[in-house]
Amino acid sequence: MHSQFSVSSASGARSAAKSTFSPEYSDLPIELRDAVDAALQECFDKIYCSDELLGNKLTQVRGPLDSLSKRHGLLLEDAIAHAFAAAGDRYEVSTQVALIVSREALSLVESNQLDRLEDLNLPVGGSHGKRVVIDILVFDHVTGDLHVVSVKRGGGAQGGQAARDARKDLTAAGLMLKNLMLRRGLPVLSVKKVLIDWYGRSGIIARKTVTRETVDAYFGLPIANTVEAMSVYMKSGIAERMAPRLLAAIGNACAPVDIDRTVEKLITCSEDRVETSTEVASARPSLAECLSVLPLRRQGRQMRSVGA
Q: What is the mean pLDDT of residues 230-237?
A: 94
Residue 216 included in any domain: yes
- Residue-wise pLDDT tens digits, 136-190: 999 999 999 999 999 998 876 655 566 667 777 888 888 888 888 988 899 999 8
Q: Is the pLDDT of residue 40 over 70?
A: yes
d(CA 190, CA 185): 14
Mean pLDDT of the chain, nearest integer: 78
Q: What is the pLDDT of residue 91?
A: 96
Residue 3 included in any domain: no
Residue 166 included in any domain: yes
Structural domain count of the chain: 1
Q: What is the mean pLDDT of residues 37-42?
A: 94
* Parallel, antiparallel or unpaired: strands 145-152 and 190-197: parallel
Range of the domain at 140: 9-306
Residue 146 included in any domain: yes
Residue 2 included in any domain: no
Residue 97 included in any domain: yes
Amino acid letter, residue 191: V
d(CA 257, CA 26): 28
| Reduced 3-state DSSP string for 167-198 | HHHHHHHHHHHHHHHHHHCCCCCEEEEEEEEC
Residue 206 included in any domain: yes
d(CA 124, CA 179): 7
Residue 1 included in any domain: no
Q: What is the pLDDT of residue 221?
A: 94
